[in-house]
Amino acid sequence: MKGIALKNNIAVKLLALIVLSLVVSTLTFLFLGHHFSFQFWTDPSHYAGNLVMKYNSIILLIFLISIGIFIGIFIFPVNKKLTYIKYLTNQVSRISEVHELGLAVEIKGNDELAQLALSINAMSRELQRKFERERENEKTKNELITNLSHDLRSPLTSIIGYIDLIKRNKFNHEDELTEYIDTIYHKSQNLKKLLDELFEYTKLSNPGIRLDYQEIELGGLLEQMIGEYLPIFEREGLALQKDFPREDIEIDLDVEQMVRVFTNLLENARKYSIKPSEVRVSLNKAPDHVRISFINGVKKLPAQQPEKLFERFYKEDSSRTEESGSGLGLAIAQKIVELHKGSIGVEYLANEIEFVIELPLSQYSGFTLSGSSRFEHEF
């Protein structure tokens, strides 16, 4: 086996053991035989009866003692190895039991058996890791299905209820019928949105997902989006303020995906802001990354632990209104930002909530540190 010195090779060790046992037992036989023969033939008067018989039986005894020594020297270490092999066999069958996954075997010596024990330990750890990941995936999948069935059931139940009323002509006048149809339409739209977002989230969770990077000027992209949202925000009593550096910030992004992130954050600010109030979007550049922040005012801060907002299907009870979405918006945003090797976080300020995105700048960024940075305050 590779990596094992000759002196630690089991075959070499066995051979050495045989030679050693043979040498020691032969020497014992020669020494005792010689000693006894010398004593026997110098003074045979000590031995009564048939001398040849006596001599032969004592020599036979010495021979048996030598064989015993041979077996003793050989068997003792070999038996130790056999016991170790038996121990390894037992441990391997224990590792195959689910509750013993990750079990480590004792490493003894430095030979092929020790190598085998090391490999068993590595295999056991790997099995445990794979099993735990599998269990975690299964749990996540089950949670997803539970949440989804809950979120699908309630709108579907009310859609079925309204259709049933219409079918049985259980409405008093035309306006009531229009109202039922409107509700059915809105609930169906929400269901479609939920399924679309779920599809998006599942797609982004696929390990094989690839981003379609394009170089883009980030300030320009955000400015264009803010421009589009401006009338919608104004209609709802929200002032939109931007705080951008003057320089261009060139960055490699999957534009379509990042637009989805910004849309989610702007939509959330529109939906969950206290009105009237001000929503602030700012962009800053550090040497190796950009920081984009969205701040809006809130009546009450959602969720005790801010990280909860990024959990799939998390919706604050107070935001479970007609306007409330699937609870997947921030989870999708987080997936997209992380695929860009960036981070997204939330901070609670006094009566305000801030979402911060940090994205690494591409190494080909055209942004230069020289030149003044003018911040504009518009809208």
Ligand X SMILES: Nc1ncnc2c1ncn2[C@@H]1O[C@H](COP(=O)(O)OP(=O)(O)O)[C@@H](O)[C@H]1O
Q: Does 282 bind ligand X (CB under 6 A)?
A: no
* Cα angle: 57, vertex 60, 64; to 5 degrees: 140
To ligand X, the closest distance from the beta carbon of 329 in angstroms equals 3
Number of Cα atoms under 13 Å in the Cβ half of residue 234: 8
Hey, how many other C-beta atoms are within 10 angstroms of the C-beta on 275?
Answer: 11
Cite the DSSP H helix spans in the chain. Answer: 10-42, 51-95, 112-167, 174-205, 218-235, 255-272, 329-339
Task: Choose one: 102-110, 159-167, 208-216, 307-315; the region binding ligand X (CB under 6 A).
Answer: 307-315
Are 251 and 289 in contact, with CB atoms under 8 Å apart? Answer: no
Cite the DSSP H helix spans in 255-328. Answer: 255-272
Q: Does 270 bind ligand X (CB under 6 A)?
A: no
Task: Choose one: 4-12, 119-127, 220-228, 328-336; the region binding ligand X (CB under 6 A).
Answer: 328-336
For ligand X, which is the closer residue by CB, 37 or 319?
319
CB neighbours of 63 closer than 8 A, spacing ≥ 6? Answer: 29
Q: Does 155 bind ligand X (CB under 6 A)?
A: no
Calculate the alpha carbon distances from 129 to 92, 123, 143, 283 in Å. 17, 10, 21, 41
Q: How does strand 289-297 pair with strand 352-360? A: antiparallel
For ligand X, which is the closer residue by CB, 131 or 199?
199
Picked from ligand X, Mg ion, none, the partner binding residue 117 (CB below 5 to 8 A depending on kind) is none
Q: Does 262 bind ligand X (CB under 6 A)?
A: no
Q: Does 353 bind ligand X (CB under 6 A)?
A: yes
**Of the residues 319, 339, 343, 379, which one makes contact with ligand X according to CB under 6 A:** 319
Closest residue by beta carbon to Mg ion? 329
Q: Does 326 bind ligand X (CB under 6 A)?
A: yes
**Of the residues 155, 219, 245, 327, which one makes contact with ligand X according to CB under 6 A:** 327
- Residues in contact with ligand X by CB under 6 A are 264, 268-269, 272, 296, 298, 302, 309, 314-316, 319, 324-331, 353
